[in-house]
Amino acid sequence: MIRSDIIRGHLDSIVLRLIFEEDRYGYEISKEISSRTDQRFQIKEATLYAVFQRLEKKELIESYYGTFSKGGKRKYYKITSLGKAFLKEMAEEWKETKEIIDLFMEGLK
Amino acid sequence: MNRLNKHVNELFKDVPEGEKKEKILQEVLQNLEEKVIDLIEQGKDEEDAINKAIVEFGDIEDLKEELEIPQSDKKDMTKINLAYSIWGSLLIIALFVFINFYYTPQAIWFVYPTFAVLWWPLTMYFIWMKNR
């Protein structure tokens, strides 16, 4: 598995992106991250809840309770308009960052 | 599932009691149970599934940090410092004004120490602003 400290700094964006696509709940998000990365990156649940707390505190997401399912009532998260704006900004910032790092990391032998 | 419940409660035992803790505990349990059910459906026996879910849950330290109640006493301190600096500087300025007009009413010099003293509440004001 990949060293995760670089990814760690972008977990907020990753989670926000998934919630941006549709309203999701915790387990779904961790499953989605694993499957999209072909199990190369797995988010620890404890970390995921910390991300939720942080995003909710910053009012980038909101939560609501969904229907009753397999283990109980699911808590869903929904992106706010502030969250959408933040995500867009993050995407631009990442593009910029990637370009800069690429300048130094690409073409090495 | 009882073991899962116990484990999660154990993880959260240091988190101060409250509505917030209750909510997050419920959420964590719900998601974990769903994960366990998923794993069982994939062919694991319950024992294994619960173990896997617990191991993959990870370290709770980050979460605890997020759950900490924002340090209100620190915030209060900057406000108290600001109030103290305002009162303190007012008293000092009043003293200068008194000395000025009582002993040397022909020369107005109290504005100089006044300007010097005002740096104090001004600094405290910006520290307070920064912490808000």
For residue range B72-85, list pLDDT tens digits in order.
455 568 889 999 99
| Domains of chain A, residue spans | 5-105
Residues 6+ apart with CB under 8 A from B21: B12, B15, B67
For residue range A5-60, list pLDDT tens digits in order.
788 889 999 999 999 999 999 899 999 999 999 988 888 888 899 899 999 999 99
More confident of the two residues B90 and B53? B90
Q: A78 has which bridge partners?
A: A62
Question: How many CB atoms sit inside 10 A of residue B78's CB?
Answer: 18
CB contact under 8 A, A45 and B57: yes
- The whole-angstrom separation of Cα A99 and Cα A77 is 32
Give which of B56, B57, B58, B39 is closest to B48, Cα–Cα. B39
Contacts of A27 in chain B (CB under 8 A): 31-32, 34-35, 38
pLDDT at B55: 86
Question: Whole-prediction pTM value?
Answer: 0.68
CB contact under 8 A, A74 and B30: yes
As a residue count, chain B comes to 132
| Domains of chain B, residue spans | 2-67, 72-131
Give burial (CB, 10 Å; 0-12/13-18/19+) of B51.
middle
User: Per CATH, is A5-105 categorized as 3.40.50.1820?
Assistant: no
Instruction: Read off the tokens for B16.
Output: 């101060």
CB contact under 8 A, B62 and A46: yes
Contacts of A47 in chain B (CB under 8 A): 58-59, 62-63
CB contact under 8 A, A45 and B32: yes
Instruction: Read off the tokens for A15.
Output: 């989670």
